[in-house]
Amino acid sequence: MTTLLLVVIYIAFISLGLPDSMLGAAWPVMQRELGLPLAGAGLVSMIVSGGTIVSSLFSGMLIRRLGTGKLTLMSVLVTALALLGYSFSQDYLWLCLIAVPLGLGAGAVDAALNDFVARNFAARHMNWLHSFWGIGATTGPLIMAFMLNQTGRWQMGYRTVAIVQFTLVALLAISLPLWQRFPTPASPQTASGRGKIRKIRGLTPNLVAFFAYCAVEASTGLWAASFLVDQRGLSRVLAAGGASAYYLGITVGRFLNGFLSSHFDAKNLVRGGQAMILLGIGLMFLPFPILSLVGLMIVGLGCAPIYPTLLHETPRRFGVENSASLMGIQMAIAYCGLTLMPPLLGLIVDRFGLQLYPLGLLLLAVMLTFGTERLNKVLAQQNT
C-alpha cells in the first residue's frame, strides 16, 4: 500500500510540473497573437507565484483540517479548472485572472506533498519526488510544441494538460483511503516559538539561498524560448523544445541525485550544482545556438540537487523541533523569488534587449552561491 501511495504522489508531482514550464514555451506565440510586450509573461508568472505564496502559507492549517490526501485532491481539481480556463482564453486580462486559481492550487499541492514526504519517507524519495516534477516540467513544453505544430494554437496545449489533470483528480479520489494510514502533523509552534525561529543563526543566508535558487530556476525557464528565438535565431517550435532541454536537465539530475545523496554530503552536492549552473550560463553568452541549448541543459543539471537538498537538510541544520515551521517559511521565500525576479528580468530585457538574459541569470547565480557559502560558514562556526 505504501508503494502504491508513493506512485500516486510521484504522478501528482508530474502533474504539478506540467503547467510550470508551459507559459515560457508558448509565450513567443502568445505575445504575437495577443499583441503584448515581451514582459507581459512576467506579470502572469508573478500572479501565479503570488497565489502559490498565499496557499503555501496556509497549507499547514489546511493539512491539519483536511488531511494531505483531500487537500491534494481539491488543489489538483482547482489547477485542472484553471488550465481549462486558459485553453479558452482570448485576451490578456483573462490570462491574468485565471492565473490566480492556478497559483493557489499549485502552491497547496507543492507544500502538502513536500511536507508529507519529508515526514514519512527517506531522503532519496524527496530527490525523486522533485525529479518527477522535472518530468512534468520537461513534458509541458513538448506538449505545447507538439500542439503548436499540429494546430497552431497555444490554447490546445493548455487544454491537453487540463485533461491530464482531470484524470489525476479521478486517481486521487480513488486513492484517498491510502493517505489515512499516515498521521496528520501536530499543531504549529506557539507565537513565542516562532519568535525564537527568527533568531536562529544562519536563517538569513539560508533564506537568501532559497530566494535566489528559485529566481534562477524560474527566470531561466520563463525566458529561455524567447532568448533562443530572439538572440539565437531558432524557430518557435525548436525554441519550445529547447526550453524542454533545460527541464530535462533538472529531471535527470534529480533522479541521479537520489542515488548520489547516499555518497556525497549536502554541502558538496549543492556546490557541484552551483558550479554547473555557472558553466551553463557561461555557454549561453557565446553566440552559437547549439551551445545555448547545451548551456540550458547544464543549468538544469546544476539546478537539480540544490532545492531538494536544502529542503531535506532543514531538520539537520536547524533542529527537528524547528523543521515544520521553517519548511513553510523557506517555501514562501522561495516562491517570492519565483514571483519577483522573472518579471523583473522580463522588464529589463524588454527595455534593453534579450542579450542581457544570461547576465541576469549570472547575477542571480552569484547571489545563490553567496547565500549557501555564507550559511556554510555560519554552521561551521557554530559547530566549532
pLDDT tens column, 199-226 = 778 889 999 999 999 999 989 988 888 8
pLDDT mean for each 10 residues of the chain (384 residues): 86 86 84 83 83 80 82 92 90 91 86 78 81 83 88 91 93 90 60 58 91 94 88 85 82 87 86 96 92 92 92 78 71 85 87 92 96 92 74
| Per-residue pLDDT at 137 | 80
Packed helices 320-352 and 59-66: angle between N→C axes, nearest 10 degrees: 130
Which of 170, 167, 177, 179 has the alpha carbon at shortest distance from 68?
179
**Domains in the chain with CATH codes:** 11-178+197-383 (1.20.1250.20)
C-alpha cell at 245: 532541454
Residue 264: how many other CB atoms lie within 10 Å: 15
| Per-residue pLDDT at 115 | 76
Residue with the three cell numbers 521565500: 333
Which of helix, strand or coil describes residue 231?
Answer: coil
User: CA 256, CA 305: separation in Å to the nearest integer?
Assistant: 9
Which of 367, 307, 313, 308 has the alpha carbon at shortest distance from 340?
367
The residues, any chain, with a CB within 8 Å of residue 186's CB and separated by 6 or more, are 324
How far lies 301's CA from each of 131, 134, 196, 269, in Å?
Answer: 11, 11, 36, 12
Question: In the chain, which residue ranges form alpha helices assigned H by DSSP?
Answer: 2-17, 22-34, 40-57, 59-66, 68-87, 92-120, 123-151, 154-179, 191-197, 203-230, 236-260, 266-284, 289-303, 306-312, 314-318, 320-352, 357-383
| Per-residue pLDDT at 280 | 96
Packed helices 68-87 and 92-120: angle between N→C axes, nearest 10 degrees: 160
| Per-residue pLDDT at 65 | 82
| Per-residue pLDDT at 116 | 82
Which of 253, 261, 252 has the alpha carbon at shortest distance from 316?
261
| Per-residue pLDDT at 156 | 93
User: CA 323, CA 362: separation in Å to the nearest integer?
Assistant: 31
**Tens digits of per-residue pLDDT, 59-114?**
777 877 888 889 899 999 999 999 999 988 888 999 899 999 999 998 888 877 87
| Per-residue pLDDT at 258 | 85
